[in-house]
Amino acid sequence: MSSSRMFKSLTAKAAMLALFACTSGLLAQQGIASGKDSLHVVDANNQFAFDFYRNLNAHEKGKNIFVSPFSVSSALAMAYEGSSGNTRKQIASVFHFDMPDAKRQADFSKLLLETVAGPGKHYKLEVANALWGQKNFHFDPAFAHTIDKFYGGGFNQVDYAGDKPGSIKKINSWVESKTAGKIQNLIHPDDINQLTRLVITNAIYFKGDWASPFMKSDTKDEPFHLGDGKTVQTPMMQQTGRFRFVRENGMAAIELPYLDNDLSMIVLLPDGNAEQLGESLSLEQVRQLAVDMYSQEVNVLLPRFKFDTRYLVGGNLAAMGMPDAFDQGLADFTGMTGSKDLYISSVIHQAMIDVNEKGSEAAAATAVVMMTKSMPVSKTERLCADRPFIFMIIHNGTGSILFMGRVSNPPVEVVAKTEAN
């Protein structure tokens, strides 16, 4: 087979970890409450977040869900920079990149700066990008320059063809270093082959404490009611305090703040089935909840949970409207190499979340593998998350949804064992 017809491979990866923090209210945040983003790409990313969650909700029945739509958007945005033709149109449609190139690039550049914890913050939040290209393989200098200028992604040479284990180790080590070791072995040996030509990595890490921590002494094993009618015993954290809260349209919503008011967790607890809520959940719906929430005294019961997820989401993205990117005969990434010799063979997404009395820690990684081709009230409200619920991690300064998930079945854990460690 001639080299012009041989499909080579490109892998794009992203790793992310998020932090939760206190906020004075989502009403003040552009991305969720008002929808009037100074960064148009934030609204695009958030629209994709709900599209992506609804797709996963349809395929992950009865399972815990945890993803970073921000990570997926960031990784595919970098791949989008090298796309052309119908492939480019389809990616733009799925990720809502309906804005001029200059605006999108400038917004992503600014977003990367604004989602980094500044000096004196009481949490850790780091974002990083990098390109990992096959040595002696030609990449368009303009593509590499664009990634470096707007995404901060430096170019690194590896040898997928001659040293596959070494290439995997180098990339995985970088991801681990950018996520405090929480995302390990993102790339498996069967994820790439001798035709792999590029890996695009995006990494984000977060760790922070609740503004109002839960007391361990108040955590008790309580029944958690699963969707199938069964129950499991799970450590249930408890506290009473003032939080932004609303109960309307068949659900309760609460904003749990983290230190420094920079990030927060939103918990959505439906009266009915969380999977049914996930079928129609939208950005507009959450924006309205943010507008309607107000500060009041709430008795909060939330399970302590920690779990990992790993998804191959190429099929999900193709079904959402970008099939050409995964088709050897139709994919067009000429902006990367100057010819139609790349296509996306898979998209890998890996994440972890740890929510406990002190605070939260979360991480995620995405790999795109391409082959060539406030009104006060007197009563105390109550939110008892003893059944499946949806949650989001929000960066309040930009309104970006960094993570989304569903707790369907908290990992079984006894309180005594945890407190003894």
For residue range 115-159, what is the model confidence (pLDDT) as tens digits?
888 888 888 888 788 888 888 888 899 999 999 999 998 889 999
Structural domain including 49 reads 9-209+306-372
**Is the residue at 124 inside a domain?**
yes
Whether 2 maps to a domain, the answer reads no
Residue 20 has pLDDT above 60, yes or no: no
What is the three-class DSSP state of 87?
helix
Choice between 261 and 298, residue whose per-residue pLDDT is larger:
298
Domain count, the chain: 2
Are 144 and 188 within 8 A, CB to CB? no
pLDDT of residue 371: 64
pLDDT at 384 > cutoff 70: yes
Q: What pLDDT sits at residue 116?
A: 85
Q: Say if 3 falls within a structural domain.
A: no
Whether 4 is in a domain gets the answer no
144 and 48 part of one domain: yes
Q: Average pLDDT for residues 360-384, to the nearest whole number?
A: 72
Res. 194: pLDDT tops 50: yes
User: What are all long-range contacts of 314-318, with beta carbons under 8 Å and residues at least 24 apart?
Assistant: 314/344, 314/345, 314/346, 314/347, 314/369, 316/52, 316/55, 316/56, 316/59, 317/76, 317/94, 317/347
pLDDT for residue 412 is more than 80: no
What CA–CA distance (Å, rounded) separates 253 from 281?
A: 13
Can you give the pLDDT at residue 235? 95
Q: Burial code of 304-343, b = ≥16 C-beta within 10 A, e = fewer?
A: bbebebebebbebbbebebbbbbeeebbbbbbbbebbbbb
Q: Are residues 324 and 269 in the same domain?
A: no
- CATH number of the domain where residue 311 is located: 3.30.497.10
Q: How far is CA 233 from the centre of its chain?
A: 28
Report yes or no: 331 and 274 within 8 Å, Cβ to Cβ.
no
Looking at the fold, whether 43 and 119 belong to one and the same domain comes out as: yes
Residues 395 and 291 in one domain: yes
Nearest to 76 by CA among 321, 275, 283, 241: 321
In three-state secondary structure terms, 9 is strand
pLDDT of residue 373: 61
Instruction: Provide mean pLDDT across the span 230-238.
Output: 94
The pLDDT assigned to 48 comes to 97
Specify the length of the chain in residues.
421
Orientation angle between helical segments 40-59 and 101-114, nearest 10 degrees: 80
Residue 9: pLDDT above 80? no
Query: What confidence tens digit (pLDDT) does each residue in 276-335 have?
Result: 999 999 999 999 999 999 999 999 999 999 989 999 889 999 999 999 999 989 999 999
**Which of the residue ranges 90-104, 198-212, 217-231, 326-340 would you say has the lowest mean pLDDT?**
198-212
Q: One-letter amino acid identity for 63? A: K
> Tell me, what's the pLDDT at 208?
82
pTM of the model: 0.88
- Give the whole-number percent of the chain exceeding pLDDT 70: 86
Residues 142 and 17 in one domain: yes
- Does residue 413 have a pLDDT over 50? no
